[in-house]
Chains A and B, each alone.
Chain A
Amino acid sequence: MSEAFSRRSFFRGGLSGRGVAAATAGGLGASYVLDMAKAEGRPTRPPGARPEEHFLATCTKCGQCVEACPFGTLKLATAGDEVPAGTPWFEPRDVPCEMCEDVPCARACPSGSLDTQINILDASMGLAVMTDQENCLAYKGLRCEACYRACPLLDEAITLDMKPQERTGRHAYFLPIVHSEACTGCGKCERACVMEKAAIQVLPRDLALGIGGDHYRFGWDEEAIISRDFVAPTSSPQVIDQQGVLDSMNDLSGIEEAP
């Protein structure tokens, strides 16, 4: 038995002062390296990816999603990429997601990092955002619409907002507007943008979306919620009986008689 594993021999030689110092130094060094490796970019993940924290914890970096992707969209991060090494991601500007109906990448995931049951229309790989309205051709009054036409969810994820164009006075702006509830973050729009650097880009959802807060109530929404019996206050001026108010405030009966 002496050569076989025993609990006593497991950490043999490690409990000296030097060993403890080495372990502490090693631990601190390792946790620093770990922080460096973790605190990297905010990549666009495959469809069905769990929230980044859960995703990073469970992904085994096996690459089966990458192999399942028929379009070469997904890749495993190598050391030196701005993404934790070994995890799957894609760069929409290079190769966007083709939104396969059967989502082979997510189906292949063994680790639970991707939801294998994901419906591609429910995917949220990120959110397309008009990151640069100053340079977008549509905002200059040109009829570009490249992103709008490239969107696989045409008129759902991106619509065109028409506005009068003041410069000429006789044309219209066709402004692309992204709708977060429909956009899957596939990145077709970012790929299609005709500019040298895309004016519409896929960002991580949590980075792209603000949070309004529950305390806001919007009257136009509330009207639909409140009951039929409720009569909305009218803005007609109320007649105030000024003398009655004064009398009421000066009426001390009941207060004087208190014990």
Chain B
Amino acid sequence: MTALRFQILRRITQLGVLALFWLGANMHLGVLTGNLSGSRIFGVVPMADPFAALQIATTGHLPGNTVLIGSAVTLGLWFLLGGRSFCSWVCPVNLVSDAAAATKRRFRLPIGFAVPRSTRNWVLALALVLSATSGVAAFELVSPIGFIQRELIFGVGLGLLAVPLLFLADLTLLKRGWCGSLCPLGAFWSLVGSRSPLGIRFDDESCNRCMDCVAVCPEAHVLNFNHLSTTGFIRSGDCTRCGRCIEVCSTEACSFGMRPPPAGATRNGDTHVHG
């Protein structure tokens, strides 16, 4: 039970997925072919970025059958796993933004300017509008996630400059600027995750309000104890299911668990709360 168990696991999945894609592209290992935009598992099961498919559909072109099936597979999988769990368990940009946040904490740097969280929803809407008007999947053409993962897997190019840019922007200017406020893919998975069955359960009786979890949470607004004390579950899709709250909690008040039914949430199996 190391205090960093989920963080270690997440680095393993983040780097592992990239490594499998890299081995597929460069060593012809057939476990994962393609990249995060579209892939096949063992050359058979397709996966595809459903947000990219949505943008393609917005251009007025029908995405290919395999992309449609792959999008459904991916959407289903990440719905079950929590939506933005993609952000914290797979997306390579998470490594960058976590590194910036950790550096800030370590050297007690200023938190930075907080861009409104809702901005990412506007960026999502803008991406769809621009896809419709320009005739290309707009976000996909400029996505730093796309640049970084593609150029790590298929060959280095100028797109990897996105790594220092995002890191420096978070380090010097913004409070989790890209992942927390701007990324439309995060906004998309947040919508999916707001109904996801898998998430973080909260035990109000164990919690001593030490705020350790709030200090490390990348989306601290989801830890609203007024709500949590009645719902016993982080219901917000913004939660990335990274598990940092579980790791740092000294009283084991947080844990991975299933979403309780909407009304009359049950916690600890004995207390019924209406809210």
Question: Is the CB–CB distance between A84 and B141 below 8 Å?
Answer: yes
Q: Contacts A58-B56, A63-B35 given; indicate if A85 touches B138 (C-beta within 8 A).
A: no
- Encoded as 1 (CB less than 8 Å from any A CB) or 0, chain B from 217 to 232 comes to 0000010100100010
Question: Is the CB–CB distance between A60 and B234 below 8 Å?
Answer: no
Neighbouring A residues of B134 by C-beta, 8 Å: 31, 34-35, 38
User: In the bound complex, how far is the Cα of B261 from the Cα of A197, in angstroms?
Assistant: 70
Question: Is the CB–CB distance between B64 and A58 below 8 Å?
Answer: yes
Kindly identify which residue among A3, A13, A86 contacts B116, using a CB–CB cutoff of 8 Å: A13
Q: Contacts A61-B150, A79-B157 given; indicate if A110 touches B46 (C-beta within 8 A).
A: yes
User: In the bound complex, how far is the Cα of B34 from the Cα of A66, in angstroms?
Assistant: 9
Interface extent on A, as a size class? Answer: 35 or more
Question: Is the CB–CB distance between B235 and A57 below 8 Å?
Answer: no
Which residues 59-81 of A have a CB within 8 angstroms of B? Answer: 60-64, 66-67, 75-76, 78-81
Q: Contacts A11-B121, A27-B130, A60-B49 given; indicate if A111 touches B222 (C-beta within 8 A).
A: no
Q: Contacts A31-B133, A81-B157 given; indicate if A26 touches B122 (C-beta within 8 A).
A: yes
Question: Is the CB–CB distance between B24 and A67 below 8 Å?
Answer: yes
Question: Is the CB–CB distance between B159 and A4 below 8 Å?
Answer: no
Q: Contacts A4-B235, A53-B135 given; indicate if A60 touches B157 (C-beta within 8 A).
A: no
Neighbouring B residues of A11 by C-beta, 8 Å: 118, 121-122, 125
Kindly identify which residue among B38, B62, B142 contacts A37, using a CB–CB cutoff of 8 Å: B142
User: In the bound complex, how far is the Cα of B192 from the Cα of A4, in angstroms?
Assistant: 11
Q: Is A109 interfacial (CB-CB < 8 Å)? A: yes
Kindly identify which residue among B118, B119, B136, B195 contacts A57, using a CB–CB cutoff of 8 Å: B136
Q: Contacts A4-B235, A60-B140, A110-B48 given; indicate if A79 touches B147 (C-beta within 8 A).
A: yes
Chain A residues in contact with chain B, CB under 8 A? 1-5, 9-14, 19, 22-23, 26-27, 30-31, 33-35, 37-38, 53-54, 56-58, 60-64, 66-67, 75-76, 78-81, 84-86, 108-113
Chain B residues in contact with chain A, CB under 8 A? 24-25, 28, 33-35, 37-40, 46, 48-49, 52-53, 56, 59-67, 70, 116-119, 121-123, 125-126, 129-130, 133-138, 140-142, 146-147, 150-151, 153-159, 161, 190-191, 194-195, 222, 224, 227, 231, 234-237, 262
3 smallest A-B Cβ distances: which pairs? A78-B157, A112-B64, A62-B38
